[in-house]
Structure 1
Amino acid sequence: MKYAIGSANPAKVKAVEQMIKEPVQPLDVPSGVSPQPLSDEETRLGAVNRAKACVEKGAELGFGLEGGVTDMEGTLYLCNWGALADQDGHLVVASGAKIPLPDEIAAPIRKGSELGEVMTSFTSDKDIRKKAGAIGVLTNGELARDEMFMHIVKLLYGQYKFQK
Structure 2
Amino acid sequence: MSTKTLAVASANPVKINAAEQALSRAFTDTHWQVNAQPVPSGVAEQPLSEAETRRGAEQRLQALMAQCPQADFFAAIEGGYDRIQGQPFTFAYIAISDGKRTQVGRTGTLPLPESIGQALEQGGELGPLMDQLFNDHNIKQKGGAIGVLTQHLVDRTGIYRDTLCLLLAPWLHPELFR
Q: How big is the shift at 1:160?
A: 4.0
Match of 2:19 among 4, 10, 16: 16
Q: Segments of 4+ in structure 1 off by > 3 A?
A: 159-164
From 24, 37, 49, the equivalent of 2:47 is 37
2:6 maps to which residue? 3
Which letter does structure 2 place at the counterpart of 1:7? S
**Distance in 1, Cα, partners of 2:172 & 2:57:** 19
What count of residue pairs does the alignment treat as equivalent? 163
For residue 137 of structure 2, give the secondary structure of its aligned residue in structure 1: coil
For residues 64 and 29 of structure 1, the distance between their equivalents in structure 2, rounded to whole angstroms, comes to 9
1:62 partnered with 2:106: no
The residue type equivalent to 1:25 in the other structure is N
Q: Which of these residues, 76, 79, 93, is aligned with residue 81 of structure 1?
A: 93
Q: How does 1:1-164 map to 2 (within 5 A)?
A: 2-21=5-24, 22-57=32-67, 58=69, 59-88=71-100, 90-162=101-173, 163=177
* Residue range with higher mean Cα deviation, 128-137 or 67-76: 67-76
TM-score by length of 1: 0.92
Root mean square deviation, CA, Å: 1.5
Equivalent residues of 2:128, 2:138 under 8 A apart? no
> Counterparts of 2:98 and 2:106 in 1: how far apart (Å)?
19
Structure 2 residue runs without a partner (length 5+): 25-31
Shift in Å, 1:124: 2.2
* Cα contact 1:81–1:152 (8 A) shared by 2: no
Aligned-residue offset at 1:105: 1.6
Q: Structure 1, unaligned stretches of length 5 or more? A: none
* Structure 1 counterpart SS, 2:95: strand
Distance 1:74 1:20, change over 3 A: same
Contact map agreement 2:14 2:142 (CA 8 A) in 1? yes
C-alpha distance in 2, partners of 1:83/1:113? 25
8 Å CA contact 2:88–2:111 kept in 1: the answer is yes
Cα displacement (A) at 1:52:
1.8
CA distance in 2, matches of 1:124, 1:159: 42
Q: Aligned letter for 1:159? A: P
Deviation of 1:17 after TM superposition, in Å, equals: 0.9
Q: Percent identity?
A: 34
Letter in 1 for 2:135: S
Aligned letter for 1:128? I
